[in-house]
Amino acid sequence: MHLPIFLIPIIIWWIIQFIKLVIDGIKWDTIDFDKLFTAGWFPSVHSGLSTSLLVSIWYVDGINSSLFAITLIFSILFWYDASNVRYQAGKHAEVINKMRNQLSDIFQMEYCTTNIKDKLKERLWHTFGEVLGWIIISAILTFALIYWLKYFWILIW
């Protein structure tokens, strides 16, 4: 009997989002539930979700399956995006926010077309170490969840 392969990455996604809330609560002494649906900061949900799907497919279909190969390629793209592409987007946001601040000082805010409170999010990215760490942690969590669900599934059926 096969476990529902889509269920495992979704559970891992929510576990990582919960961990993000806990880390955020410890760091800032407040819990911001909006962070459940935002990109960036620690931990890397993109890395965890793609890794969990990759490990689940590895477990069910094997490493030689075409589905595993497709998932691996897309996971590599996610990992690269999390630590490189979004890093550059965050750096662009920093420069744009600085320019907006300087322009608002010059034009006294009334001539600015956007509100300075609506600044662009600068922390969209993860470091390579964060991505690598969450690849490893998500793989371990996924294997643990697979074996737990496999045991639980046998008890149900």
Show the DSSP H helices in the chain as ranges: 7-28, 45-61, 66-80, 86-107, 128-156
The pTM is what? 0.76
Asked if residue 58 belongs to a domain, the reply is: yes
Residue 157: predicted pLDDT: 42
With beta carbons less than 8 A apart as the criterion, state whether 78 and 46 touch. yes
Residue 142: predicted pLDDT: 94
With beta carbons less than 8 A apart as the criterion, state whether 57 and 5 touch. yes
Residue 1: predicted pLDDT: 47
Per-residue pLDDT of the chain (157 residues; tens, 9 = 90+): 455 788 899 999 889 888 888 887 787 777 777 766 666 666 678 889 999 999 999 998 999 999 999 999 999 998 988 888 877 888 888 888 888 877 776 666 555 555 555 777 776 677 888 888 889 999 999 999 988 888 876 554 4
Tokens representing 79 are: 């990992």
With beta carbons less than 8 A apart as the criterion, state whether 156 and 150 touch. no
Residue 75: predicted pLDDT: 95
Asked if residue 19 belongs to a domain, the reply is: yes
Residue 41: predicted pLDDT: 62
Asked if residue 120 belongs to a domain, the reply is: no
CA 7 to chain centre: 17
Asked if residue 66 belongs to a domain, the reply is: yes
Q: Which domain holds residue 30?
A: 7-86+127-156
Asked if residue 111 belongs to a domain, the reply is: no
Longest dimension (CA), the chain: 70
Asked if residue 94 belongs to a domain, the reply is: no
Look at the chain and report how many structural domains it folds into: 1
Radius of gyration in angstroms for the set of CA atoms belonging to the chain, rounded to a whole number: 20
Asked if residue 116 belongs to a domain, the reply is: no
Residue 90: predicted pLDDT: 81
SS3 149: helix
Asked if residue 43 belongs to a domain, the reply is: yes
